[in-house]
Amino acid sequence: YPTRLWEENRADLNGALASIRYGERALRVLCETHSHEKVVTFMRHLRTHAASVLRQTLSQIDRKIWRAQERLDDGSELRVAITRKGAGLRFDFGGSAPVHAGN
């Protein structure tokens, strides 16, 4: 608050809602076609597989630091440093502007 372009924000929200509704309908059809239990089982398999692929990909990333910085519309600075830490990534926003009341 206050938003600058309400029409664009509303269009973005409507697009997000439409995609959620579409996904809900598609999930209902899957459950009606293959059973709720089977869909849940395969969703679990998919989540496990995705986690495995992500861990494998992260293990191949160099142990270096990537840095980026950007300024928000009000001039506030946003900084991030990303490093590989163990099997994951660490995101450090140190040096960024403090939290403020704007969006």
Q: What is the pLDDT of residue 88?
A: 85
Q: Which of left, alpha, beta for 55 (phi over 0: left; psi -120 to 50: alpha)?
A: alpha
Q: What is the pLDDT of residue 59?
A: 86
| Residue 46, token pair as written in the block | 């998919």
Q: What is the pLDDT of residue 60?
A: 87
- Quote the CA–CA distance of 6 and 91 in Å, as a whole number: 31
Q: What is the pLDDT of residue 15?
A: 97
The whole-angstrom distance between residue 65's C-alpha and the CA centroid of its chain comes to 21
User: Which residues of the chain fall below pLDDT 70?
Assistant: 1-3, 102-103
Q: What is the pLDDT of residue 103?
A: 58
| Residue 28, token pair as written in the block | 């209902």
The whole-angstrom distance between residue 25's C-alpha and the CA centroid of its chain comes to 22
Q: What is the pTM of this model?
A: 0.62
